[in-house]
Amino acid sequence: MKTTIALLLVAFAGIQAQIGIPCHSNIFNFTPRHNLNISRYAGTWYVQEVGSSNIGNFPQPDWKCEKHVYSAPTETDPPTLSVLEVYVNITDGTTFSEDMPISVNATRSPMSAMWRKTSGVDGDLESQVFIMSADLEFATWTIMYSCAIHKPFFFRREVLMAMTRSRTIQPDLRSFLKALMVGGGFRIGDQWSIDQTGCTN
């Protein structure tokens, strides 16, 4: 997992436009999903689409079969949960996984949809995660925003993802989710599908 973070950093460190820019921390820039029931939102999600604010500079993903497994929240104040993220590297065929703790900003809507995820070497990489939208039952699809500032260059990696409960996705649902991503108040750059075929993870 430490390797993953380092390689991602190298892959994106050359993009000067994303150096020194803060994440969107103002709730008025974005409207996260209101009334997020985190217990129902928990479980497995398959990443189907990714987009970034690195306009014209977000390379085609070299990974596939990405899934996120969110644990049930622990009812502390504020609640915490964790996510196991797994993907297969297309280049060398290896499977990466990382289990990361998440703290929820607050329990009241819309704050429950604003999370902080800790990852990386010694937990030193903090990502801001906003659940932007999801179907009413949290049973089919969701759009998630994630942003982290990577040291030492203070490179901003800002990603918008469409995820589904089912590994297979119908073309009309994919089109709908792509449209939601583009309309999400986020100046989206390149957008790519994540290959979810032939996966065993």
Ligand X SMILES: *[C@@H]1O[C@H](CO)[C@@H](O)[C@H](O)[C@H]1NC(C)=O
Contacting residues toward ligand X, per CB under 6 A: 4, 7, 11, 25, 27, 37, 39-40, 62-63, 89, 91-92, 96, 105, 114, 116
CB nearer ligand X, residue 11 or residue 179: 11
Smallest distance from ligand X to CB 178, Å? 22
Q: How far is the CB of 151 from ligand X (least distance, A)?
A: 18
Query: What is the rounded CA–CA span in Å between residue 141 and residue 132?
Result: 11
Choice between 176 and 192, CB closer to ligand X: 192
Q: Which of 151, 108, 158, 114 minimizes the C-alpha distance to 132?
A: 114
Q: Which is nearer to ligand X, 172 or 200 (CB)?
A: 200
User: Whole-number minimum distance, CB 38 to ligand X, in Å?
Assistant: 8
Nearer to ligand X, 61 or 189 (CB): 61
CB of 175 to ligand X, least distance (A): 26
